[in-house]
Chain A
Amino acid sequence: MSQTVTRGKRLVDHFEIGLDAPICLTWELTYACNLACVHCLSSSGRRDPRELSTAECMTVIDELQRMQVFYVNIGGGEPTVRRDFWDLLDYATGHDVGVKFSTNGSRITAEVARRLAGSDYVDVQVSLDGATAPVNDAIRGAGSYATAIRAMERLAEAGMRNFKLSVVVTRNNVPQLDLFAAIADRYGAQLRLTRLRPSGRGADVWDALHPTAAQQRQLYDWLRERGERVLTGDSFFHLAAYGDPLPGLNLCGAGRVVCLIDPVGDVYACPFAIHDAFLAGNVRTAGGFTEVWRHSELFTRLRRPQTGGACSSCAHFDSCRGGCMAAKFFTGLALDGPDPECVLGHGESLLALRGSEPAPRPAADHSRAAVNHARRPAPACDESPLAGLEVIR
């Protein structure tokens, strides 16, 4: 191959100091969701009365256009529950802001599918967390497997190519990786695997559901074999410590290339870090989103060189960089130490040593009183969107 593709240190340095505008912006439009997945990262369920109005959302889109944010990853909640969802989608694509949105599939009618297939500026992610109904529905709720499959059928029929089948990898579905790939092939979709993080309701199930050490190895080998055909949103870069890095940038992009706007306009460093400690500001304040992105105290701090703490002496630090900040935070580990899923097992030993002090809880909980065992769309943008990023020099 003659392409000049590198992911050398210098590039990482560029991204570490942050960009003028995010590359990967997740925007959760509503906390309302018709499902209630056990691992929902935003603890969604009920709508929040303070959610941004249609006009406010349009103002944010205008700003994104000025900042040249190429696309936003829209999630929720279930974004299509918002009555103005389709208007906002048209408004964004009409203002040079592409949209990728995550859905549990429940509202993808044949007509909607045709509409989506007709636009180059819209991409869709259908969430599925088991390749079979029992495995999926245990996480996302009864009937959700059938719903997602039906949505994919409709998208495929409408001629939508390369939409995403988005899977959060858990202990229960690692054995199904090949099956997921087959489902994606069947509908002309692209498989996207992302990491389960202990964020939102995910915190409650993480211990029981995150892949075992042996499964992580299996996942790594599987991903290596598939190469760039399977997307990961760069979410498994902590596995790079097994040997060769996986495709992607291998960097925690929080506040540097990644951020989240939540339904009430709060801006967090990453969709998996919904906690006051990672709250940078609100789009409703003077200067709007641009000001928060470029000058907030938190983002400025995150863009300064970070120390690797206990990890800096590790031989894998260059590729692993201590893993995911959010995963550490919500499991109660030090931010400058190893990831809870450190492939050398350091995270596990630290988890075992944790005191009785409870780990930090997410800032907002919009779960309905009875969070059954159900679903919610995986976040559209799982941190770094840079899988497939090419560096041209």
Chain B
Amino acid sequence: MSFDLERPWRLHRQVALRPEPFGALAYHFGNRRLSFLKTRKLLAVVQALGEHPTGRDACRSAGVGEDELTAYARALEALAASGMLVERESR
């Protein structure tokens, strides 16, 4: 399963994000998993997800270039797989 950039996503309600100089840490209180976001830009994408109609829009708003999209989709997929991100009801 790969991350669907055309769908709306958000951070799971039980996930806390902690910015760090080199990215961020994400902790899921439900499944107690800790993830390490390696760039600040990825943090910006994750924070933007809830406010954009699609994952692609969130990436764009955070300044992710076309050439980086595949890499970012892969990172988002990993976050979704560990329960950090969930799909929103689409309108």
Contacts and interface: CB of A to CB of B under 8 A. Distances in A.
Interface residues of A, number: 26
A385 interface: yes
A274 to B, nearest CB: 26
A392 B37 contact: yes
A96 B16 CA distance: 9
Nearest to A70: B27
Contacts of B47: none
Contacts of A385: 34
B71 to A, nearest CB: 8
B20 to A, nearest CB: 6
Q: Is the interface of B mostly helix, strand, loop or mixed?
A: mixed
Interface string B20-50: 1110011101101111111100100000000
Contacts, number: 76
B25 A123 contact: no
A171 B16 CA distance: 40
Interface residues of B, number: 30
B62 to A, nearest CB: 14
B78 A23 contact: no
A372 B71 CA distance: 58
A386 B1 CA distance: 26
Interface in A365-393: 385-386, 388-393
Contacts of A388: 33-34
Contact of A390 (B1, B34, B71): B34
A2 B38 contact: no
B20 A20 contact: yes
Interface in A240-268: none
A34 interface: no
A273 B1 CA distance: 45
B60 interface: no
Given A389-B35, A391-B36, 11 more contacts: A3-B78, A4-B75, A14-B20, A20-B20, A21-B18, A23-B34, A70-B25, A390-B78, A392-B36, A392-B42, A393-B37
